[in-house]
Structure 1
Amino acid sequence: MNPPTEPTFQDSPELPPPPVPPSPAPAAVASAEPDRLQNLESLIRQLGGEVLRERRSERRWKLVLRLGWFGLVLAIIWGVMSQRGHVNSPSGPHTALVEVRGEIAVDSAASAENLVASIKSAFEDQTAKAVVLRINSPGGSPVQAGIINDEIRRLKALHQKKVYAVVEEMCASGAYYIAVSADEIYVDKASIVGSIGVLMDGFGFTGLMDKLGVERRLLTAGANKGMLDPFSPQNEKQTAYAKAMIDQIHQQFIAVVKQGRGDRLKETPDTFSGLFWNGEQAVQLGLADHFGNLDYVAREVIQAEEVIDYTPQENVAERLAKRFGASIGAGAAKALTQIGTLR
């Protein structure tokens, strides 16, 4: 048995050193440096271009917004200044037209405030040979209609100028109240004319309240302060009072019709009953005079074929305020309108 040999330390074979990457040649290093600079310069130019484009775009939008607001202000000013002007300017003898359309009420286009102003302008224009009221209205407030009727009769006497009413589809109730102020009334054979009467309508909810178990608690100072309250039972005395009041207004209406139509009116038991008739029947009953439209009256009756519209046009400011539903805009439009009407 051989004795164990003692471990010996022998020199291990040497490993080859790791490869060392070749260092770039000086010429390659020199050429890469300008490339990096060019790329950096190109990036800076791109960023600068983007910033400039954004700023130009902002300036354009600011300019567009400013021009838009400027145009809106001009439109409002133009609307206020032209609110009571004519659609056309009179160039010589012509027929003056005033439209009576829709409900006759305080806040409508056919209010006394609007129509009286335009009718007065038509009368005062010396080149207007006559005034035509073109009517298409179911009626409305007897107060507003009465104001218009009174003013037309006053202006007729003052200026010695004739007025003609031309009915389109409808001339009923308060609209006929206005029409009888004219010297002559022209209709279409199918127009609706008349309805000489007065009404006061409402609702009563007492039966429904009883079914629902709802109790009405109304406190008044004055025995008649709650008169015609829809949630309280009818009071015979108060109902009779209201009926007497509208009967009196009805008599006022009848008197105005008789005054305006005179001997031409062929009165029947139904004339003042609130009935209405077509245009052909209205001529037969003396409620109207002849058949004809605006062009016919201007050409054949007045003999001034050119028609100038004196009807007040809708205010641009108010139309914009309504369209956008801006309460601030509506208040500004109202203020501008009031300023524009100062004399």
Structure 2
Amino acid sequence: MGEWLYLIIGVVVVAVGLTAGLVTTTRRRKTPELSGRRTDVIAPPEAPSDVPVADDLLVEPAAPTTEKPETTASRLVRLRQRLAGAQGGFGRGLLALLSRERLDEDTWESIEDTLLTADVGVAPTQELVDRLRTRLRVGGAEAQDPREVLREELVALVGPDLDRRLQISGADGHPGVVLVVGVNGTGKTTTVGKLARILVAEDKSVVLGAADTFRAAAVEQLATWGERVGVEVVRGAEGGDPASVAFDAVREGDERGVDTVIVDTAGRLQNKAGLMDELGKVKRVIEKVAPVTEVLLVLDATTGQNGLIQARVFAEVVDVTGIVLTKLDGSAKGGIVVAVQRELGVPVKLVGLGEGPDDLAPFEPRAFVDALLG
């Protein structure tokens, strides 16, 4: 009887022990749900302070990469080749007409039509034809090289003696201030970015002012141009006061001692009065810090006579000192160079011949004429 009693007591003890273990395990499994705390994220143990960390395991943030713009010399070679391909038809057409055995009235009329179609303008066309008639009549068409005669007269017409230097330097310790104006769609903001690249390639320090505050896309576009060549861009709130942004940009450039500040302006042309007020205010406010040394008017070469109308309006509003002709490769109307210079009395200083970042170069009359003649 005693043995059975000990056996029963042993079984009960084992059963109680197993039951207690099962309850404990169950409670442990339920603890995360009851407490609401995550248990699947485990912090790694801290490394001892005396254990060295390899330098190659330290990740530094990547520095922004900047591009190296082309030099002026290299871009001139490429742009001349592009211009020759785009404008060669105009020059070859004139040469074919002047090389005829007999220059009759029909031929001269065809020469006039070719020049007018190329947007040279009525007065310059008549002037050029009269000079060609005189030279080829006096010397005799057979005794002279029509190509050389045409080249000389075209160079004279384009104006080789005009001062085409960009006024990018200031006086008395101030930076040069370049104000860029023009209608939206002419490539104005892009021209500002490309001009910055030219100056950076010449080791100039530059600050850009995004004063076209009415177009958020223009501000972002200019910021991208600045990042690509490591140039600071001063910007303001969308729809803010353009004059305020321009002032801040010039003041920033003045305080930092940079060489040039380039200010992009709004290109709205709803009416001359509004344009005059806006650009006039921008210029007045800028000159509280430093004088404006250059006012560049950006024109789309493909717009022809419409471009001349725009040029007149801007010339009446602000003192334009130079012209930038963009998209000159998109049309065989290179004569716009002559027409716009005659219209405004100021030189073409820069030409754009493509969409690449370095497709902007100083305008050279002789190289331009050589390209026209192929």
Q: Which has the larger radius of gyration?
A: 1
The answer to which structure, 1 or 2, has the higher relative contact order (CA under 8 A, 6+ apart) is: 2
Mark yes or no: TM-score above 0.5.
no
Q: Normalising to structure 1: TM-score of the pair? A: 0.33
**Which structure's residues are more often helix, by fraction?**
2
